[in-house]
Amino acid sequence: MTKLTFSATAAALAFTATATFAETEITWWHAMGGQLGETVNKIAEDFNASQDDYKITPVYKGSYEETLTAGIAAFRAGEQPNVMQVFDAGAATVIGAKGATIPVQDLLADNGVNFDINDYIAGVRYFYADSDGKMIGMPFNSSTPILYFNVDALEAAGVTPPKTWEEFQTTTAPALKDAGYIALSQSHLPWIFTENFMSRHNLPFATNNNGYDGIDTQILVNNDAIKAHFTAVTDWKDEGLFEWYGTGWGDNAKPFEEGKVAMWLGSSGSFGGLLQKDLPFEFSATELPYWEAVTAEPTQTFIGGAALFAMSGKSDDENKATAEFFRFLTAPETQYFWHQETGYVPITEAAYEVAKKDGHYDRFPAAEVGVNQLQAKAGDNTKGYRMGFYVQIRDIMNREYGRILTGETDIETAFKTIEKEANELLARFGKTQG
């Protein structure tokens, strides 16, 4: 009996082996957990089912930071995956290491896949590009910070979602407070209140063209506009209009989901998750507010999220498979599916058109907010930023902002500390590239 089972299994195995003989297998390391991870798996399955020559296997490697570290360790051991997802803060590290990746633009051209950077929507084109505008990483899950709001709460307070921080301060927030709500929370101070504060107001974030044009870059975070913003934020907190629940993303989203906080600054990529949670109230979203005192015309924001990088050191066959996967991934249908399921923006104009035609935005107006914001007026400082050791720089910001909000330090000292420590790290990163 055992013997029979064994030989049957062996025969089955042999059969499978023959059937899959021609397939080129590639791996994809990503950081998409939960509902996002399921969608990633579905995309991989669809790609595998769409043809017989290639097979991609997605592997979840933990958080963005963990995925990057795992990828680096694997690369040093010669065991890198074909495709690695790297988040915005890790862009300088992976793009700086010339030879670690194949620029996606070259990969596609070498394997006969059409590529035109202008097919991509404005906001995502250059974030993962080099200083000459060549796309290095394929923007995969592109999101941008937007303002979610509890429709019932705003109706109860008799206000509309704020366009500017001035409106929030004088009208929206006090009304929400009177209606028994904490007006606002946010989930990522460095991303929403620093990086995108700069892009929304078209302020330079770093020297050297936001860091794209050289490695002797200095951060420009210690400026009056952002310090005034943080002064306002601490005032709001003191007045009970804003609350900070720690550095964790979920800790700040939870009070909004529970209906305690009326408005929450999160990612456009949070949309799918919120929809699935079946919240006890109706929610919608609007664009990231700006200070009228700083700019009359708000500009487009940076994309957050992550990009897919094709790792070097792989055979031509495997690179071909990676290129084909990217072709599948950027197809309007795949992008629309991804956009619908998660809320991450469609990265190409064509995919955006498909979504529009299908009436997606009539059904879910909130889903279009991120796309619109990324296509808003561009400025000199809105293309992105490129700074080394940026994961640590974000951690420094998080630390100092936390200390400001718990009264351990004052705004002036905190921004001086961030500037000093960030510039030290940037100088150190410059030396690693030597």
Partner 1 sequence: MKRAGFDTIWLPVALLMPQLLIIAIFFYWPAGWALQSSFYLQDPFGFGSTFVGGENYTSLLGNDQYKRVAVFTILYSVLVTFFSLAIALLLAIKADKVIRGAKTYRTLLMWVYAIAPPVAGFLGILFFDQSTGPLTKFFQMFGWDFKLGVDYNATATAMVIVAVWKQIPVNFIFFLSGLQSIPRSVREAAMIDNRSATGRFWQVTFPLLAPTAFFLLIINITYALFDTFGVIDALMKGEPGNNPMTLVYKVYLDGFRGNDLGGSSAQSVILMVLVLILTVFQFRLMERRIHYT
Smaller CB separation from partner 1, 251 or 353: 251
Give the contact letters, 377-396, x = binds to partner 1 (CB under 8 A), - = no.
------------x-xx--xx
* Residue 315 within binding range of partner 1, rule CB under 8 A: no
Residue span binding partner 1 (CB under 8 A) among the ranges 16-24, 200-208, 347-355, 416-424: 416-424
| Residue choice 53, 110, 251, 353 for contact with partner 1 (CB under 8 A) | 251
Smaller CB separation from partner 1, 177 or 403: 403
Answer yes or no: are the C-beta atoms of 269 and 113 closer than 8 Å: no
Answer yes or no: are the C-beta atoms of 40 and 272 closer than 8 Å: no
| Residue choice 282, 316, 408, 410 for contact with partner 1 (CB under 8 A) | 408
- Residues whose CB falls within 8 Å of the CB of residue 177, separated by 6 or more in sequence, listed in order: 183, 239, 240, 241
Q: Taking CA 268 as the corner, what is the angle to CA 211 and CA 26, rounded to the nearest 5 degrees?
A: 75
* Residue 222 within binding range of partner 1, rule CB under 8 A: no
Minimal distance, residue 421 CB to partner 1, in Å = 7
* Residue 65 within binding range of partner 1, rule CB under 8 A: yes
* Residue 419 within binding range of partner 1, rule CB under 8 A: no
Smaller CB separation from partner 1, 359 or 434: 434
Give the contact letters, 78-117, x = binds to partner 1 (CB under 8 A), - = no.
---------------xx-xxxxx-----------------
H/E segment holding residue 267: strand 261-267
* Residue 68 within binding range of partner 1, rule CB under 8 A: yes
Query: Using CA atoms, how far apart are residues 371 and 391, in angstroms rounded to an integer?
Result: 26
Query: Using CA atoms, how far apart are residues 275 and 397, in angstroms rounded to an integer?
Result: 31
Minimal distance, residue 432 CB to partner 1, in Å = 4
Give the contact letters, 171-190, x = binds to partner 1 (CB under 8 A), - = no.
--------------------
What are the backbone angles phi and psi of residue 307, rounded to the nearest 5°?
A: -125, 160
* Residue 248 within binding range of partner 1, rule CB under 8 A: yes
Site for partner 1 in 3-62 (CB under 8 A): none
C-beta contacts of 241-244 below 8 A and 24+ residues apart: 241/169, 241/173, 241/174, 241/176, 241/177, 241/182, 241/183, 241/184, 242/173, 242/182, 242/183, 242/184, 242/185, 243/182, 243/184, 243/185, 244/185, 244/186, 244/402, 244/405
* Residue 245 within binding range of partner 1, rule CB under 8 A: yes
Smaller CB separation from partner 1, 366 or 425: 425
Q: Is the sign of the CA dihedral 168, 169, 170, 174 positive or negative?
A: positive
Task: Return the structure tokens found at 5.
Answer: 């089972």
Site for partner 1 in 256-295 (CB under 8 A): none
| Residue choice 7, 16, 20, 63 for contact with partner 1 (CB under 8 A) | 63
Minimal distance, residue 245 CB to partner 1, in Å = 6
Task: Return the structure tokens found at 201.
Answer: 């107001």
Residue 304: exposed, middle, or buried by beta-carbon count in 10 A (0-12, 13-18, 19+)? buried
Minimal distance, residue 409 CB to partner 1, in Å = 9
Q: Taking CA 311 as the corner, what is the angle to CA 382 and CA 35, rounded to the nearest 5 degrees?
A: 70
Task: Return the structure tokens found at 27.
Answer: 């791996």
* Residue 422 within binding range of partner 1, rule CB under 8 A: no
- Residues whose CB falls within 8 Å of the CB of residue 307, separated by 6 or more in sequence, listed in order: 85, 86, 91, 127, 128, 137, 138, 139, 140
| Residue choice 112, 180, 246, 365 for contact with partner 1 (CB under 8 A) | 246
**Residues at the site binding partner 1, with contacts judged by CB under 8 A:** 63, 65, 68-69, 72, 75-76, 93-94, 96-100, 244-249, 251, 254, 389, 391-392, 395-396, 398-403, 405-406, 408, 417, 421, 424-425, 428, 431-434
